[in-house]
Amino acid sequence: MIDPIFLVEAAVNGVLLGGVIALLALGLNLIFGVLDIVWIAYADLVMLCMYAIYFLVAVHGWPIWAAGLASLAVGALLGVAVHLLIISPILTSPPINQLLATGGLLFFVQSAATLFWTTDHRSVRLSLPSWEIGGIFIPATRLIPFGISILAVIGLYLFLTRTYIGTAIRAVSQDREAMSLMGASPQRIYVVTSAVGGLMAGLAGALLIFQYAVHPFFGGQFGPLTFMVCVLGGLGNMVGAFVASFIMSEVIAVGGVVMSTEMGYVIAFVIFIVMMFVRPGGILARRQ
Amino acid sequence: MTRGRALAGVLLLVLLLQPLIPLGGYRQYVLHVAIQIFIWSFIGSAWSLMGRFQLVSLGHGAFLGVGAYATVLLWNLYGVTPWLGAVAGMILAGLLAVVVGLPCFRFRVVGHYFGLVTLAVGEVIRLLIVAERDWTAGSLGLTLRSAGGDSLWALQYGSKQVFYYGSLALLLVGLWIWHRVDRSMARAALESIGEDETAAASVGIHVTRFKLGITVLSAALTALGGSLYAQAIAYVNPETLSGIGVSLKIVFAVVLGGMYTLLGPLVGTALTTALAEFLRILFGLKLLGMADTIYGLLLIIFIIFLPDGIYGSARAALDRRATRRAEGASITAKASV
Amino acid sequence: MLELRAISAGYGQFTALWDVSLRVDRGEAVAVVGPNGAGKTTLLRVISGLIAPRAGALTFDGAELTGRPAHHIVAHGIAHVPEGRRLFPALTVADNLKMGAFLPAARARFAESLERVYALFPVLAERRAQRAGSMSGGEQQMLAIGRALMSRPKIILLDEPSMGLAPVMVLRLFDLIRRVREEGYTILVVEQNVRQVLKLVDRAYLLEVGRIRTEGRATELSEQDFVRKAYMGV
């Protein structure tokens, strides 16, 4: 039998991880809510930002805070680039084309990363303390990212509700045509949204590189997880995604300790399928 | 006999007689490549049964893996003949399709939602294979237990010739199935569902049943392809037979050739295989990932600029010319009256 | 001020408007009436730029606007209150009005515009923090018009404002539109309620099956027999 202390530790780790997953889920939802398109390659953009930080810190010796900011910038730029180069041309294409385009991007990004940087795992070593609370160890490398991610979620909330452009983004997600009647160029709003989504990917990358090693297929770990979280929370539903992030992270963390890391994901998926039967509109949807 | 049919007949004759053409040392290599093309075309064709009706699956690797591993595990561990193993694989894949498809279709999970769910399914099957490494050997992959010589019961042969004809036959069966679906009432129903589900439902079409049906068919056929591939190559590995990578490769080949035509998947698979071989010869193992990078880039470019694929666009262009010629002929006919 | 010359437009293979020409002068109130499916909504969508015309020309205040996208046309001073209002349902009244003033020129005079709108529609001031989707039909229509006013337009296009409203509300609504008109706005209104709208406007066009069948001063049209029989239930 597993020492309950490990279970508690896993549960805590799950919460800490949930914060970062929430960033990814919210970023993806933001873009879907406004553009009606899912960036299948989203987790791979995170991967690219992680590589950026790795090279800046481990190879060029940049300080961490500078590399973090650079990651945000890289993320935002990637977001805009993806929109202008890939999304814009297929905005009115049937959903199958849109899915295949972003799917192709995933393929391309993962393969190009393999080509340039090989499949070696790269990590950025940080010597940060670990705190012991009640017998369980909480490393700073997990706690600080969690704190930052919560701050970022609050920041996103404030951005969407208190700023003009943020309210405009919410308006577009509710009625795109009506917004163009307000004199808002849809393209401009899309670009801003893509930049914000990319920025969140950059932030997530910055928070993850200090916990996980990056390799070209890193997106394969977090991508499907993010998608399950988004669908579970209801595609486009920000609050649902936030809640679902923690639920899924918990399942994976605890499952990972009880069985194996991979089985943790499998169990999460099973729960996901079950939830689809029970609450198809997402966990926060009203009863059908 | 139409020109198209004649051409197809000649091609078929060539394919049937090909192993008899003296190719010296290249024999095995050509057979190997041909088998790859046949089997992956078969799988691509199975995928397009869903794709052409707007049911985008990005996780067909799941069914592929189920079929391949079911066959190999049943033989390696229990001595079950792959003939039955393949059937077991098909049933399992069908069940998986139902488990995933039923909630999706019943509750109108379509388009992006559905694509994401299938993507997750593909990855989860890969994770499952890796997780259960005690009996699946995880990422190391599993070699087919030798039957000690050529055996029909174990479906193992030294020479690739048998698998050449076997996979060609399977491809022809797959094309026939595609053709039957194309001509069936189900096709009309599925197309209307793809266009407007609500309208289709209001006309009395049982949307869920049709979607589920085509999904199960596609899954089962893909699993069958996986089983045959496992036998032909005698080795399975979760990376090559499940997960996002292989799922996207299947999709890419079909999109390249053309999703909505009978021979599109075949043309696309032939092209991608040729490209892969060319790159392998050119770069060897030096530039790992080059082939896939090019695939990804081409997939993006094709889906934006040539969504009907090479063969599909060519067919459409030829059809338009034929229509114009026919119109021209009828105008001349009217004029001369 | 607003002129359409020989406009043809449609959706896909279907043509909804054939060779439509009309005119609205500064300060006027003009109506377009006609049966369901005549193309009235398509007409407004062409003017506001949601649909590009297949043929013909659209000029406004001297500027050639044919085929320009909606956000450009709005910037020239054309505000469109769409059919069904198309409010942002999850946003508050105040946020909806804020969105109406998206244009830089409008944003600069935001406070002034807001005061004017609240003065015209006191109900909106009362409910400024309420979600737009939870308001009654009449209140939503007022918000939709108020939102259009926030862009400081030169002309306001109203698409079936009385749709879905109770008869009492309809009378109040037309009174409010009259007041908006008195503030100096030029108005082009598409309506099925012919009787009420002809009391409100100076001129009217009759659109049937995508073509202008007749036009004239409102008073003259309401006297014409076929109009009375077909549309006013006399």
Q: What is the 3-state secondary structure (H, E, C) of B168-189?
A: HHHHHHHHHHHHHHHHCHHHHH
| pLDDT greater than 50 at residue B93 | yes
Distance from C93 to chain A by nearest Cα, in Å?
12
Confidence band for B313, pLDDT divided at 50, 70 and 90: confident
User: Is B186 within a domain?
Assistant: yes
Averaged pLDDT, A5-10: 82
User: Is B303 within a domain?
Assistant: no
Which of C74, C78, C87, C99 to mutate to test binding with chain A, by most A CBs within 10 Å of its CB?
C99
Judged by CB atoms closer than 8 Å, whether chains meet at B127 and A86 is answered as no
Domain count across chain B = 1
Q: How far is CA B99 from CA B93, B186, B282, B311, C161, in A?
A: 10, 22, 44, 34, 49
Match 């309620």 to its residue by tokens: C193
- Cα gap A204→A20, rounded to integer Å: 6
Dihedral of the alpha carbons of A213, A215, A217, A221, in degrees to the nearest 10: 10
Neighbouring chains of C at 3+ CB pairs within 8 Å? A
For A241-264, letters b (16+ CB in 10 Å) and e give bbbbbbbbbbbbbbbbbeebebbb
Classify C156 as helix, strand or coil. strand
Which tens digit of pLDDT belongs to each residue from B211-230?
899 999 999 999 999 999 99
Residue by residue, pLDDT tens for chain C (234 residues) are 888 888 888 887 888 888 889 999 988 899 998 887 788 888 999 998 888 889 888 999 888 888 889 889 999 999 999 988 889 998 999 999 999 999 888 889 999 999 999 998 998 998 889 999 899 888 999 999 999 999 999 999 999 988 888 888 888 889 889 888 888 899 999 988 888 888 888 899 888 888 888 888 888 877 776 666 666 654
A residues 248-277 lying closer than 8 A (beta carbon) to B: 259-263, 265-266, 269, 272-273, 276-277
Q: Looking at beta carbons, which residues of chain B come within 8 Å of A114?
A: 288-289, 292-293
Which tens digit of pLDDT belongs to each residue from B6-61?
777 787 887 777 767 766 777 788 888 889 999 999 999 999 999 888 888 989 99
- Cα gap A20→A13, rounded to integer Å: 11
Is 0.90 exceeded by the ipTM?
Answer: no
Averaged pLDDT, B119-140: 85
- Cα gap B76→B147, rounded to integer Å: 10
Give the DSSP per-residue string, B227-239.
Answer: HHHHHHH-EE-HH
Classify B58 as helix, strand or coil. coil
| pLDDT greater than 90 at residue B69 | yes
Scanning A83-138, the segments in alpha helix (DSSP H) are 95-117
Q: For residue B246, give the chain A residue with the closest CA.
A: A107
pLDDT of residue B228: 93
User: Is B137 within a domain?
Assistant: yes
Q: Looking at beta carbons, which residues of chain C come within 8 Å of A183?
A: 71, 74-75, 102-103, 106, 151
User: Is B229 within a domain?
Assistant: yes
Q: Tell me the CATH number for domain A4-278.
A: 1.10.3470
Closest CA to B232 of B43, B54, B97: B43
Residue B8 — left, alpha, or beta (φ > 0 → left; ψ -120 to 50 → alpha)?
alpha
Averaged pLDDT, A189-211: 93
Residue C177 — left, alpha, or beta (φ > 0 → left; ψ -120 to 50 → alpha)?
alpha
pLDDT of residue A287: 41
User: Which of C95, C98, C151 is closest, CB to CB, to A183?
Assistant: C151
User: Is B5 within a domain?
Assistant: no
Classify strands C155-159 and C2-11 as parallel, antiparallel or unpaired: unpaired
User: Is B218 within a domain?
Assistant: yes
Tokens of B305: 């600029």
Check if the beta carbon of residue B39 is closer than 8 Å to that of residue B246.
no
- Cα gap C116→C114, rounded to integer Å: 5
| Residue-range domain boundaries for chain A | 4-278
User: Is B322 within a domain?
Assistant: no
Match 């892969």 to its residue by tokens: B276
The rounded mean pLDDT for chain A is 87
Give the DSSP per-residue string, C117-155.
Answer: HHHH-HHHHHTTTSBGGGS-HHHHHHHHHHHHHTT--SE
R_g (Cα) of chain B, nearest Å: 21
User: Is B320 within a domain?
Assistant: no
Q: How far is CA A129 from the centre of its chain?
A: 26
End-to-end CA, chain A: 41
Which tens digit of pLDDT belongs to each residue from C166-191?
888 888 889 889 888 888 899 999 98
Judged by CB atoms closer than 8 Å, whether chains meet at A181 and C50 is answered as yes
Sheet containing C186-191: order of strands: C78-81, C155-159, C186-191, C29-33, C203-208, C211-217
The rounded mean pLDDT for chain B is 84
Which tens digit of pLDDT belongs to each residue from B142-164?
888 887 777 777 778 777 888 88
Check if the beta carbon of residue A218 is closer than 8 Å to that of residue A114.
no
R_g (Cα) of chain A, nearest Å: 19
Judged by CB atoms closer than 8 Å, whether chains meet at C69 and A168 is answered as no
Residue A282 in contact with partner chain B when CB distance is under 8 A = no
Q: CB count, 10 Å around CB of B109?
A: 21
Q: What range defines the domain where residue B60 resides?
A: 27-241
